Structures are given as structure tokens and as C-alpha cells.
Amino acid sequence: MNDSLRGFLEWMAGTPLRILIILVSAGLAQAFGSRTITRAMNKLAAADLVPGPRNIVARQKERASTIGGVLSATLKVAIWIIAIAMALGEFGFDLGPLIASAGVVGVALGLGAQTLVRDVLSGIFMLIEDQYGVGDTVDVLEVQGIVEKVGLRVTTVRDSSGTLWYLRNGEILKVGNQSQSG
């Protein structure tokens, strides 16, 4: 084997192989995590958490679906941010200053993006309080329709004319939910 082929193979066994392992591991972690979240939400949807006459199984399934979507999206973002940071480290980037500056940038973004933070916090409390979920018929911000997607920042509602409305959770001050029974 000549020296240039040997050098190429040694180089391939180094950084490119480690980056490939990082990316494959991130993909596997995302698939495994999403599958685990789906299984857990299916068990939650099927569990009889409210026995007796107030058994609202359909509502429980909708809420499990909504929470499962939010958890899956959060997991995906976290895994790929870590994978990209690890890949940059393999290319020789010093991540220490990047992580330190992320704290400063985080403070600046927190001050500059207060509406984004308000939207996310409102979305979290909306999910915890079970104000509405996917499939509910709601009256919110002068829009009446069916909730198609609930995220931490934005809720999408389709009205009777077919228009899809994107509503920021931080701006939703009151909600009328026709799907929840007293």
C-alpha cells in the first residue's frame, strides 16, 4: 500500500469517522427518544386516570398527543444542538468561549426577546393547565375554530372558512373552549 493511500485511510479513521459516529448516534438517540415518548404518551392516553362518571378519555388522548409533540420537538432540538457542538469540537473549534458567550448572548436575547419568552412560558402553563388541546373547538382572540396544533410558542386554529390562524400563546388572554365539559 502506498503512503498516500495509507495517509488517507488514517485520516478517514480519525475526524471524519468520529463525526459520522456522532451524527449516527444523534439520529439513533432521536429515534429511540421519540419512540420512548410515543410509547409513554400512548400509555398515558390509555390509562384510566379519572375513574367514574367524569372519565374523559378522548380529552386525555388529545392532551397526551399535545404533550408528546412538544416533548419530541424539545428532545430533537436538544440532541442536535449537542451533536453539532460535538462535531464542531472534532473540527478543532474551542467550545469553551462559545459556551461562555452563549450565556452573555442568552441574557441579551432574554432582554431583547421578552415576547418570545412570554409566549413560551404562556405555552407551558397552557399545557399544564390543560386549557385546550388538539381537536378542541375554541374561541380565542376573535378566532373561532378547531385547534390543529399546539406548540410552546404558537397555537394554530382553523376557522370555519378554512383559514389557518397562527396565534402567539403570550397574546392569548382568554379562551373559550367548547369541547371541555364542566
CA-based end-to-end distance of the chain: 78
User: In terms of domains, do 85 and 109 share one?
Assistant: no
User: In terms of domains, do 140 and 86 share one?
Assistant: no
pTM over 0.85: no
- Give residue 51's pLDDT: 57
- Give residue 126's pLDDT: 83
> Which stretches in the chain have pLDDT values below 50?
53
Domain count of the chain?
2
The residue whose grid cell reads 463525526 is 19
Alpha-helix residue ranges (DSSP H) falling in 13-155: 15-46, 57-90, 95-112, 114-129
**Alpha-carbon span 134 to 147, nearest angstrom:** 5
- Give residue 31's pLDDT: 95
Last residue of a domain, one of 66, 93, 120: 93
- Give residue 182's pLDDT: 55
